[in-house]
Structure 1
């Protein structure tokens, strides 16, 4: 062990702690880590609340992330306010780091919960999934697709169990908007095999990097895909995993995975799952031209019975965006680029 002369004084405070102290934050323990930095809990002395601080090292982060994805993440988070989304408080930038201050979810994440306790009871799965649904409905109603980046790593772009955090009352909070995308549906799109029934969301994406276990068949086939319907496929994978405690598809072999996603998902015979819940999962884990939209999911009978109140505002916004296409409209969409 290195010995210090007592005349030298205490060890120097790490630079990041000095910066945070200037802004009134007392940084605590590490609660997460990733390729680009660490996440700490911290006490905000000015408002006397606990927060999470994501500290991103500019030396470790790629230029693409710093110049494109990080500004987009901050841009998206600034406009979002919903009880089932992690709230953004502040962003601080220095020459060597970027600090993002967020709401702290003290209950860990849903993946950790399932790894510890196993499959959820259907009432608990219903509670968490209905909260996820409200959060995604809010995002989609604003023309934002999820495609989250877990744990500061550039390895994922999808909605995952580890991106669903829990507050101290075990309510779901959707986190990490590093690879979210803002899409403005301008005018309805003409009929297309991939999403003919979803005229409100017209943008097709062509790039993807993430966990194939959560990826829809269009992505696995390398086809342009509707990111809104990609979100609802991922929601189907999540709900299946909540009630079964394992993923519906084996992603260790891509060829096998692709075959599995083309078939109707199978449930274990030794678990009791209601037919309503199974029906909803089947509606989400199907080909894009028949897949449930977030509007379908919000209105689904199984989801409705777990909602404390009808999400009237989100439904109205989604219905407005999903007006039938005009036969004379010019079909196009705009994407906000950063």
Structure 2
């Protein structure tokens, strides 16, 4: 399969007991704090501060936007280090997707600036770190906290899916936290607007419904969060790959380790094709266990985001009812039978 691996898939995890779930990137790729790029940022009104993250092709900095007197995050991507595939396909797609997104549980996009040597992406700053760091520090979440974070993530994903957009790289370190410890979904490098297979019909609900017949074939994300279809190299339904990743996240929130051992690919393949085992000694409600099992299932039986929004455990913690998303998602799934959710001849990357 032709694909771009994420930095996380390049740097495979340490044993699960340490919860080293994903690498944070290759620090050798860090962009030096040269006067050149600082002068570019200053020209646009940004005072660049400390490094807050590393990526495959660049670095994320905290910055102060002098015109509005707010802190932001600046993702600086080196064109010299980035692959042509990333620069010509994935980066433009990431910016295109982020420009149309506005939701309280998604990191907001503010601006993109391009020079001959770099691309600067200005984003909302989440000052509370990420959920992976939280679990590494404190261990398993209480079910109440897990419910809060999972339901916020689910509302963000429902918003995306209702627009025909898939994330395809959901993992704990892509769930950032604001200063009130609310989830902000980040990193849309693999996100895409799923094309409709029936462009002749103009109604938005029909376009969204028909996009469910789309299959992807690009390997996206990280082994530990990837659904069995992706691991087997099969074309996959990207909406259902997102909900599988949500199942991995929910399991890890309440257990404090990954559900599947990603240190050995053959073992990982075997494990993901069997029913996941939830430790019996942990105080996890049956409703929570049921949702995990509904998410970590074969594609033809796997819960959709609409199923998640209506799940009894989810409803306990849902901060608000997403009326618009429910309406759009119900229209999308109304005439799509469960066995056909992952079957299609419309295959793209």
Give the TM-score band, short-chain normalised: 0.7 to 0.9
Q: Do residues 125 (structure 1) and 136 (structure 2) align? A: no
Deviations 1:73-99 (A, max 9, x none): 100000000000000000011111110
The 2-side partners of 1:134 and 1:325 are apart by 22
Equivalences, count: 302
Contiguous gaps of at least 5 residues in structure 1: 1-11, 148-157, 189-197
Counterpart position of 2:100: 79
Structure number, greater radius of gyration: 1
In structure 1, which of residues 284, 300, 321 is the aligned counterpart of residue 311 of structure 2?
A: 300
The 2-side partners of 1:229 and 1:246 are apart by 22
In structure 2, which of residues 155, 158, 162 is the aligned counterpart of residue 141 of structure 1?
A: 162
Aligned-pair CA distance for 1:133? 0.1
- For 1:229-268, list aligned pairs within 5 A: 229-268=240-279
- What RMSD, in angstroms, separates the aligned Cα atoms of the two structures? 2.0
Kept after mapping to 2: 8 A contact 1:52/1:102: yes
Aligned-pair CA distance for 1:270? 2.1
Q: Do residues 211 (structure 1) and 244 (structure 2) align? A: no
Q: Do residues 201 (structure 1) and 195 (structure 2) align? A: no
Q: Do residues 65 (structure 1) and 86 (structure 2) align? A: yes
Counterpart position of 1:311: 322
- For 1:269-308, list aligned pairs within 5 A: 269-308=280-319
Aligned-pair CA distance for 1:332? 7.0
Kept after mapping to 2: 8 A contact 1:185/1:200: yes
Q: What is the SS of the residue equivalent to 1:277?
A: helix
Kept after mapping to 2: 8 A contact 1:187/1:332: no
Kept after mapping to 2: 8 A contact 1:84/1:134: yes
Counterpart position of 2:41: 20
The 1-side partners of 2:333 and 2:191 are apart by 21
The 1-side partners of 2:279 and 2:170 are apart by 24
Q: Do residues 55 (structure 1) and 76 (structure 2) align? A: yes
The 1-side partners of 2:324 and 2:160 are apart by 12
Counterpart position of 1:29: 50
Deviations 1:110-131 (A, max 9, x none): 0000000000000000000000
Query: For structure 1, which segment, 300-309 or 163-172, has the greater mean C-alpha deviation from structure 2 after superposition?
Result: 300-309
Counterpart position of 1:93: 114
Counterpart position of 1:162: 173
Counterpart position of 1:9: none
Kept after mapping to 1: 8 A contact 2:194/2:211: no
Change (3 A) 1:325 1:238: closer
Contiguous gaps of at least 5 residues in structure 2: 1-32, 200-208, 338-343
